[in-house]
């Protein structure tokens, strides 16, 4: 008998909760593409929304926001939704909150559709940069759903005299040595693409390559390869790195690279065949943050790594 009463009580409670539970019933429209803004209506079930002076609506999604939520009646709210060009795609939960900290929710209430990427925002090298390395480091921010980027460099601000044009899969991008000339001013821009289309070109940024390359300190043949401590260290933002090159096979290159603490390459200072001798390279860390970096010299079977610190 007690079990029957318990089952009956549970059934009554279940029906009561479902009959009179207050929740969001729907969001109309229930979808939109990245980069759009438009009015929405939020419908409630079992709600008495006119009892609260105001409401706010939130979505569990990066890049989705609402504003201007207005109470129409006990079961209807209106407002506007803003979908950032980088909003995360897929279904998202909505939460409606009133002045009294009551919360009304609905899972899978709104679906964000993919659109073509937004225009990339350039980060490095900053506009009007000076003393940039020949193998400069290009970085930009864009839609995480972009599948490729096109970067162009030109010798004029109108981008009519293109000196470099390529499509790459990811950012950042380090341009190879031999493309940019010492002391030359360049202009660059980038766009982003996915299967839905291509963004507008970014702004045109400029930078000037440093006036000196690899300096030969001595033409005497060292007894062996050697990487020497950079000076100054710590530094802001420029330091000098010296190294010795002993005898090498004609096919072997000398490579001097910069890495951050995560192991990601932050610079490629030398990547070429060099005659035996002593050399010095200047490295400008203007476009990079403070922190510890590592520089590595590779020449044939020789490899050595040292560390340095950028302080800004």
Answer yes or no: is pLDDT of 267 > 90: no
**SS3 state at 103:** strand
Beta bridge partners of 231: 240
Helices (H), the chain: 2-20
**What are the sequence ranges of the domains in the chain?**
24-113, 121-209, 215-310
pLDDT (mean) for 214-237: 89
Answer yes or no: is pLDDT of 191 > 60: yes
Which of the four pLDDT bands, split at 50, 70 and 90, describes residue 266?
A: confident
The topology under which CATH files domain 215-310 is Immunoglobulin-like (2.60.40)
**SS3 state at 157:** coil
Are residues 283 and 239 in contact, defined by beta-carbon separation less than 8 angstroms? yes
Distance CA 207, CA 191 (A): 18
121-209 CATH, one of 3.40.640.10, 2.30.40.10, 3.40.50.720, 2.60.40.10: 2.60.40.10
- Give the pLDDT confidence score for residue 273 in this predicted structure: 82
Tokens representing residue 12 in the block: 């009554």
Answer yes or no: is pLDDT of 31 > 60: yes
Phi, psi of 92 (to 5 degrees): -140, 150
The rounded Cα 123 to chain-centroid distance in angstroms is 9
Which of the four pLDDT bands, split at 50, 70 and 90, describes residue 170?
A: confident
Distance CA 114, CA 142 (A): 14
Beta bridge partners of 238: 284
Q: How many residues does the chain have?
A: 312
- Give the pLDDT confidence score for residue 275 in this predicted structure: 84
- Give the pLDDT confidence score for residue 212 in this predicted structure: 57
- Give the pLDDT confidence score for residue 13 in this predicted structure: 37
pLDDT (mean) for 263-287: 86
Interacting residues of 205 by C-beta distance below 8 A, sequence separation 6+: 122, 125, 126, 127, 128, 187, 188, 189
If you ran DSSP here, which 8-state letter would residue 191 be given? E
Answer yes or no: is pLDDT of 256 > 70: yes
Rg (CA), the chain: 30
Are residues 164 and 152 in contact, defined by beta-carbon separation less than 8 angstroms? yes
Answer yes or no: is pLDDT of 5 > 80: no
The DSSP secondary structure of 34-91, one letter per residue, reads TT-EEEEEEEEES--GGGSS-EEEEESSTTEEEEEEEEEETTEEEEEEEE-TTPPPEE
Domain 24-113 grouped into CATH 3.40.50.1970? no
pLDDT (mean) for 46-53: 93
Answer yes or no: is pLDDT of 301 > 80: yes
Are residues 156 and 188 in contact, defined by beta-carbon separation less than 8 angstroms? no
- Give the pLDDT confidence score for residue 16 in this predicted structure: 39
Tokens 């499509």 correspond to 167
pLDDT tens sequence across 138-164: 999 987 899 999 999 999 999 999 999
Beta bridge partners of 196: none
């Amino acid at each position: 008998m007690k079990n029957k009463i318990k089952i009956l009580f549970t059934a009554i409670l279940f029906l009561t909760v479902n009959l009179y539970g207050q929740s969001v019933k729907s969001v109309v429209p229930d979808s939109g593409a990245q980069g759009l803004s438009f009015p929405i209506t939020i419908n409630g079930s079992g709600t008495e929304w006119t009892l609260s002076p105001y409401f706010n609506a939130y979505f569990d999604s990066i890049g989705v926001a609402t504003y201007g939520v207005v109470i129409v009646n006990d079961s209807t709210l209106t407002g506007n939704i803003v979908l950032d060009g980088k909003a995360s795609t897929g279904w998202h939960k909505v939460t409606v909150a009133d002045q009294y900290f009551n919360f009304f929710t609905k899972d899978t209430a709104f679906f964000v559709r993919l659109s073509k990427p937004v225009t990339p925002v350039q980060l490095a090298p900053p506009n009007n940069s000076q003393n940039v390395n020949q193998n400069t480091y290009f970085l930009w921010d864009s839609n995480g759903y972009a599948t490729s980027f096109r970067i162009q460099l030109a010798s004029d601000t109108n981008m009519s005299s293109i000196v470099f044009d390529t499509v790459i899969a990811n950012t950042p991008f380090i341009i190879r040595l031999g493309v940019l000339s010492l002391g030359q001013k360049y202009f660059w821009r980038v766009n982003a693409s996915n299967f839905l289309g291509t963004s507008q070109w970014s702004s045109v940024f400029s930078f000037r390559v440093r006036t000196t390359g690899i300096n030969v300190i001595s033409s005497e043949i060292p007894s062996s390869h050697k990487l020497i401590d950079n000076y100054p260290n710590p530094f802001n933002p420029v330091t000098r790195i010296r190294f010795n090159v002993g005898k090498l096979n004609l096919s072997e290159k000398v490579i001097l690279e910069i890495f951050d603490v995560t192991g990601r390459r932050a610079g490629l200072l030398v990547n070429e065949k060099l005659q035996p001798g002593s050399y010095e390279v200047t490295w400008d860390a203007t476009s990079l943050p403070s922190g510890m970096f590592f520089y590595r010299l590779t020449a044939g079977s020789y490899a050595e790594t040292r560390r340095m610190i950028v302080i800004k």
